[in-house]
Amino acid sequence: MATVSVLRNLDEAQLASMLEKASEMLADNIREVVMDFSAVRRINASAIPAMEEFICVAEEKGITVVLLGVNVHVYKALKLVKLASRLSFRELNWMNSFEQK
Amino acid sequence: MIASEAVEQPPAPADAEELSKERIAYLERIVTQARTAAAVFGQFTQEEVDRIVKAVVLAGLEQAQHLARLAVEETKLGVFEDKVIKNMVATEFAYNYIKDKKTVGIIREYPERNLVEVAEPIGVIFSMLPITNPTSTVLFKCIMALKTRNAVIFSPHPKAWACCSEAVKVMYEAAVAHGAPEGVFACLGTHTLEDNAYLMHHKDVALIDATGGPNAVKAAYSSGKPALGVGAGNTPVYLEKTADLNAAIVDIIISKTFDNGTICASEQTVVIDDEIYDAALKKFAELGAHICNEKETRLLARTVIDPQTGFMQPMAVGQKATAIARFIGLTVKPRTKLLVAPIQGVGADHPLSVEKLFPVLAVYRAKSSEEALKVCVDVNHAGGLGHTAVIFSHNDEIIRKFSEVINAGRIIVNSPGSIGALGAVYNDLVPTFAFGCGTGGGNSTTDNVNIYHYLNIKRVARRTQAHMWFRVPNHIYFNMNAVENVAQFASRSTIVLTNPALERMGLVDIVRRYIPPETHVHLSVIPDAEPEAKVVLEGVEGLKFYQADQIIALGGGSVIDAAKIMKLKYESPNADLEELAAPFLDLRKRVVEFPTEKVIKARLIAIPTTSGTGSEVTPFAVLLDKKHGRKITLADYSLTPDVAIVDPQFVMSMPKGLTADTGIDCLTHALEAGVSNYASPYTDAYAMQAIRLVFKYLPIAYEYPQDEEARTMMHNAACIAAMAFSNASVGVNHALAHAFGARFAVAHGRANALMLPHVIAYNAAVPAKFMPSPYTQGYVAHKKYATVADLLGLGGTTVEEKINKLIAAVEQLLDKLDFPHSIAGLGISKEEFERAVPELADAAYNDPSWRSNPRMPLVKELVELFWKAYSGRGTADVVAAQHGKTA
């Protein structure tokens, strides 16, 4: 059965290593990975290649990567490195409805 | 880590070979790193950026000597001590200029213009570096890039790779240590022109910044990418006879020997006035220059300039004067700083007249200032266009002339060219290590390249509150016997202008009664028709003959218009009426301005004898150009009469037809001013009052011509409506009426009446095309019509109902005044009208009246309006329903 995996409390400073770890855990039965970016004020240079790698792994497995609550500066940075089009974005309150379900 | 170390580099292919896959992968990795760094850097705040910048500046200063030594050792060019100074200028002086400048977020605000400028980083910059100023250029560009949150990929000159690479490393490490994103700088390792070409064409490289030789600059501009390509020059110097010779020669030597002449802004040919030539050469020699004789000059030219290309020999670049002398077998004193070579002209026959980036200076003896300037122009055009020029003079006129004829981004006055051009040392130019040379040098800028060239500057333009105006005559007298006020205006010589009918009616005598007895009064009678140029010019001759200081215009619009134009030509004889009638969109921005200089002044008192045009208070005048069969409309507030006397005794005998026509003209003025895009609370007040007066008193004045109150109020209404439309203008109704009236010889008021209900419905509907207007917020015409309906107490609850009631009220008024219901009612056949409509629509479209209409008329809509007017009243309320029920 396809599932949705949710990564919460993403730490800005540890983002690269968290993404590396998360990519190792991407299982075939996951339909969607949702990452809460609301605490990520800024994306740093090491996180961007890690994010790209994570997206590549997810795409190979047919998994959609969703970022929640991304601030516009981070969004623009993702746009500039051409990753934004490979991601889905949702508002933070999506989490509430997800949890209610 | 900088890219040259971070990325394992495959061997660079030989030039002209295709790039290998490994090579492409290497270059791609560099670009990806830079792109990532730029994206991350874009999130930084001004404070973070400034902290990084300060750190790298200090690192650059710390390493200034180390990097200078590396540069001299590797390139074998220049002078260590001077390169140290260059490195310090590139860091310290650049920092001093940029430290307080904003480069993140809002960087400048212009509250008075409602404008804000916001910085947007460029992204990835590909920067080619010169051999002549390698490390200083790196230091400078790193600081500029960091201050503007950009990433840079550096491509050093092959013979300056090691020192450049070290300079980038110094700056990169300091930057990253203080928080800059990794990958913000990269320095290509051993590389080829193909590598450069690949990067210059790379989609993720946003800007090419090429400082160097003409080939690098040309390649940058040929890439199709935005580029700052700044390169070679050929600096002419004019040593003018008023200069302080000692100071000038010292400055030239400082500049030309600085780093052995490697700065491209340094002096190349000094053109010296004959009067001071010998003294100048003597001074050069005293201060350590060797003055070449003719033979030595020929030898020098053959050696340091390539006879094939006409350019300097690379082996001479950045070498000492003694070394060059030794090389060509010239015997000079051991401490010789500079070789000075007299030349007799500029161009291919005079090889030393080109750029020489070494301490060899050409000098030319000019017989006159004129010749000196011409030779400087020649040097400027011999490879120096757009770059730098120098003048030593205390003659401001000569300096001005020099700056006009020389095409150079930097014209340095009474100071050393090279260091002067770098900026911030001898003058207030922006410090730089890249000189923009404008289009003359194939560049996109003449600026000293600085942080603002490393930014996209976004301008946030808020809507401005447009200034409006309300201008009316200084004196308006109204009500019965207001003409008595003529007595209070002293005059030595007065011309009374009128038409034959009014004279016959004895109206002139009434006016004369109140003119002070000491005034010489002369009568000028003009035909009762729109004034033509001949009539106006004859009138002006009369004013001149009698040296009039006052004009009293007694009559309808034609007489008053004629008086306005006569006054204009009398006071400003050179006024070109045809030119003054040039079209305009906004009165305050018009191309042609009315004369303000007046040779004489005359007061204009306007006494209207009809209640419609309001010409007594308007800034308009119409002149008939019989020669070309057209009307010239003049519009300017200077045409407004000085005094208006609105005395109903002059309209008591107006015929019924004229009462109706002029009364509806007045109503049209008020309704059009009311919904105009130029309407304001001031004009609204006048327009609304005029509308109220017309609806109340026009039927009475029409039915009972001797009703003094009705005549008085209609006379006032005409004047009040005119003050509204003088400041808010009219609209599409007038455009249609002008075209139709002229084509079918129908009185203006009558033509307006035929269009009016249809135009109200038209303007009240949702426009097919809105009219751009800085004066209005949203579309309000329909609501303003509804307000008129409320004012008239017509009833209705919705805007739509109120508009329909207003249209009905207008139609009822027209019925009361016995106006025909339609154009067809005038006896114009459908066939004839059909033939005329295209021409009518064109004429209406060309009429300036509709420019202030709330709705922009399309030609096809004008056609529809003409046909509605042809069909007649009773069809107008359908369109108004489009706005829905908004109250």
Given an 8 Å threshold on Cβ–Cβ distance, is B39 in contact with A49? no
Quick one: pLDDT at residue B882?
55
Confidence of residue B590 (pLDDT cuts 50, 70, 90): confident
Rounded to the nearest angstrom, the minimum Cα separation between B181 and chain A is 6
B242 interfaces chain A, CB cutoff of 8 Å = no
Q: Between A and B, how many residue pairs show a Cβ–Cβ distance under 8 A?
A: 36
Cβ of A45 and B40 within 8 Å? yes
A71 vs B: CB within 8 A: no
Residue reference for tokens 């009822």: B812
**Cβ of B40 under 8 Å from any chain A Cβ?**
yes
CB–CB of B39 and A48 under 8 A?
yes
Residue B42 in contact with residue A87, Cβ under 8 Å?
no
Asked if A44 reaches chain B (Cβ–Cβ under 8 Å), the answer is yes
Cβ atoms B165, B2 nearer than 8 A? yes
Rounded to an integer, what distance in angstroms lies between the CA atom of residue B733 and that of residue B727?
A: 17
Query: Considering chain B, what percentage of its residues have pLDDT values greater than 90?
Result: 84
Helix B274-286 with B245-257: angle, nearest 10 deg = 60
pLDDT at B218: 82
Cα–Cα distance measured from residue B57 to residue B171, given in angstroms and rounded to the nearest whole number: 8
- Give B38 to chain A, closest Cα distance, Å: 8
∠ CA A34-A40-A43, rounded to 5°: 100
Nearest residue in chain A measured CA to CA from B123: A80
**Contact call for B43 and A73, based on CB within 8 A:** yes
Q: Do A81 and B39 touch (CB under 8 A)?
A: yes
Q: Which of residues 20-39 of B touch A (CB under 8 A)?
A: 35-39
Residue A99 has pLDDT above 80, yes or no: no
Does B48 contact chain A (CB < 8 Å)? no
Q: What is the pLDDT at residue B1?
A: 45
Average pLDDT, chain B: 93
Q: Are B188 and B155 in contact (CB under 8 A)?
A: yes
Which residue in chain B has the smallest CA separation from A83?
Answer: B36
pLDDT band at B10 (very low <50, low <70, confident <90, very high): low
Q: Is B226 exposed, middle or buried (0-12, 13-18, 19+ CB in 10 A)?
A: middle
B712 phi, psi to nearest 5 deg: -60, -45
Q: Does A49 touch chain B (CB under 8 A)?
A: yes
pLDDT at B191: 81
Sheet strands (E) in B367-482: 386-392, 408-413, 455-461, 475-478
Work out the minimum CA distance from A43 to partner chain B, whole angstroms.
Answer: 6
Cut 0.95: pTM above it: no
**Confidence tier at B861 by pLDDT (50, 70, 90):** very high
Contacts of B824 (CB under 8 A, 6+ apart): B830, B833, B870, B871, B872
Contact B181 A42 (CB under 8 A): no
Instruction: Name the residue among B324, B360, B315 with its Cα closest to residue B341.
Output: B360
| 3-state DSSP assignment of residue A64 | strand
Where does residue B693 rank: exposed (0-12), middle (13-18), buried (19+ CB within 10 A)? buried
Token pair belonging to B641: 């009469």
Query: Does A77 contact B43 at a Cβ distance shorter than 8 Å?
Result: yes
Of B4-18, B126-140, B561-575, B605-619, the poorest mean pLDDT is in: B4-18
* C-beta atoms of B43 and A43 within 8 A: yes
Is the Cα torsion angle B422, B425, B429, B432 positive or negative in sign? positive
Residue B372 has pLDDT above 50, yes or no: yes
Of B485, B337, B214, nearest in space to B222 by CA: B214
Instruction: Assess whether pLDDT exceeds 60 at residue B5.
Output: no
Terminal-to-terminal C-alpha distance of chain A: 16
Interface of B with A in 589-618 (CB under 8 A): none
Phi first, then psi: give them for residue B35, nearest 5 degrees.
-65, -45
**Quick check: B241 pLDDT over 90?**
yes
For the four alpha carbons of B733, B736, B742 and B747, in that order, the dihedral sign comes to negative
Spell out which residues of chain B touch residue A43, defining contact as CB-CB under 8 Å. Answer: 40, 43
Catalytic residues of B: 264
Q: Is B1 on the interface with A (CB under 8 A)?
A: no
Around Cβ B579, how many Cβ atoms within 10 Å?
Answer: 9
Tokens describing residue B202: 């790379």
Question: Nearest CA to CA, how far is A101 from chain B (Å)?
Answer: 36
Residue with tokens 């060797």: B290
Q: pLDDT digit string (tens) for B726-750?
A: 999 999 999 999 999 989 999 999 9
Q: Say what the ipTM of the complex is.
A: 0.87
pLDDT of residue B468: 87
Tell me the pLDDT band of B213, cut-offs 50, 70 and 90.
Answer: confident
At A27, the pLDDT band (50, 70, 90 cuts) reads confident
Sign of CA dihedral B176, B180, B183, B184: negative
- How far is residue B99's CA from residue B51's CA, in Å, rounded to a whole number? 10
Q: Which residue in B561, B580, B577, B579 sits closest to B569, CA to CA? A: B577
B766: which DSSP letter? Answer: P
The answer to whether A80 contacts B35, with C-beta atoms less than 8 Å apart, is: yes
Kindly state the tokens that stand for B843. 């004429």
CA dihedral B509, B511, B514, B518 (to 10 degrees): -80
User: Are the C-beta atoms of B339 and B320 separated by less than 8 Å?
Assistant: no
Are B760 and B805 in contact by the 8 Å Cβ rule? The answer is no
Distance from CA of B845 to the nearest CA of A (A): 48
* Maximum C-alpha span of chain B: 116
pLDDT of B887 strictly over 80: no
CB contact under 8 A, B183 and A45: yes
The pLDDT value recorded for residue A36 is 92
Q: Cα(B67)–Cα(B694) distance, rounded to whole angstroms?
A: 88
The predicted-structure confidence for B315-327, as pLDDT tens digits, reads as follows 999 999 999 999 9
* B820 lies within 8 A of chain A by CB: no
Which one has a higher pLDDT value, B884 or B837?
Answer: B837
pLDDT of residue A2: 61
Contact A72/B at CB under 8 A: no
CB-based contact B40 A48, cutoff 8 Å? yes
Q: Any chain B CB within 8 A of the CB of A13? A: no
Confidence of residue B179 (pLDDT cuts 50, 70, 90): very high
pLDDT computed for residue B878 by the predictor: 46
> Which residues in chain A are contacts of B36 at CB distance < 8 A?
45, 48-49, 81
Whether B226 and chain A come into contact, CB under 8 Å, resolves to no
Select the residue from B43, B46, B52 to test the A interface by mutation, using most A Cβ atoms within 10 A.
B43
Distance from CA of A44 to the nearest CA of B (A): 6
pLDDT at B885 over 90: no
Contacts with B270 (C-beta within 8 Å, 6 or more apart), sequence order:
B237, B238, B239, B252, B280, B361, B362, B363, B364
Distance, in angstroms, between B34 CA and closest chain A CA? 10
Residue B614 reports pLDDT greater than 80: yes
Instruction: Name residues 371-400 of chain B within 8 A of A (Cβ).
Output: none
Cα B282–Cα B285–Cα B289 angle in degrees, nearest 5: 145
Q: Is the pLDDT of residue B680 over 70?
A: yes
Give the pLDDT mean for B204-220: 86
Q: Tell which of A41, A80, A82, A83 to mutate to test the B interface (max B CBs under 10 Å).
A: A80
| Closest-CA residue of chain A to B183 | A45
pLDDT at B8: 53
B886: pLDDT strictly greater than 60: no
Chain A closest-CA separation from residue B10 CA (Å) = 22
Residue in the structure block whose two tokens are 């290998």: B20
A77 touches chain B (CB under 8 A): yes
Is residue B4 scored above 70 in pLDDT?
A: no
Q: Which residues of B touch A77 (CB under 8 A)?
A: 39-40, 42-43
Lowest-pLDDT choice from A2-11, A17-26, A27-36, B676-685 = A2-11
| Amino acid code (one letter) for B560 | I
pLDDT at residue B251 is higher than 70 = yes
Whether the per-residue pLDDT at B378 is higher than 90: the answer is: yes
Please judge whether A44 and B40 are an interchain contact, meaning their C-beta atoms are less than 8 angstroms apart.
yes
pLDDT at position B876 is: 54
As a whole number of Å, the CA-based R_g of chain A is 13
**Tell me: the pLDDT tens digits for B746-762?**
999 999 999 999 999 99
Residue pLDDT, tens place only, B453-474: 999 999 999 998 888 889 999 9
Q: Is B780 on the interface with A (CB under 8 A)?
A: no
pLDDT band at A6 (very low <50, low <70, confident <90, very high): confident
pLDDT of residue B11: 58
> What's the CA gap between B319 and B859, in Å, rounded?
75
pLDDT band at B724 (very low <50, low <70, confident <90, very high): very high
Q: Which amino acid is at B314?
A: P
CA B358 – CA B265 distance, rounded (Å)? 12
So what's the pLDDT on residue A63? 95
The residue type found at B813 is: L
User: B42 and A80: CB-CB below 8 Å?
Assistant: yes
Q: Are B553 and B606 in contact (CB under 8 A)?
A: yes
State the smallest CA–CA distance between residue A77 and chain B in angstroms. Answer: 5
Chain B neighbors of A73, CB-CB under 8 A = 42-43
Mean pLDDT score, A28-47: 92
Question: What's the CA gap between A13 and B169, in Å, rounded?
Answer: 25
pLDDT, chain A, mean: 90
Q: Which of the residues B2, B7, B33, B36 would you substitute to probe the A interface, choosing the one with the greatest number of A C-beta atoms within 10 Å?
A: B36
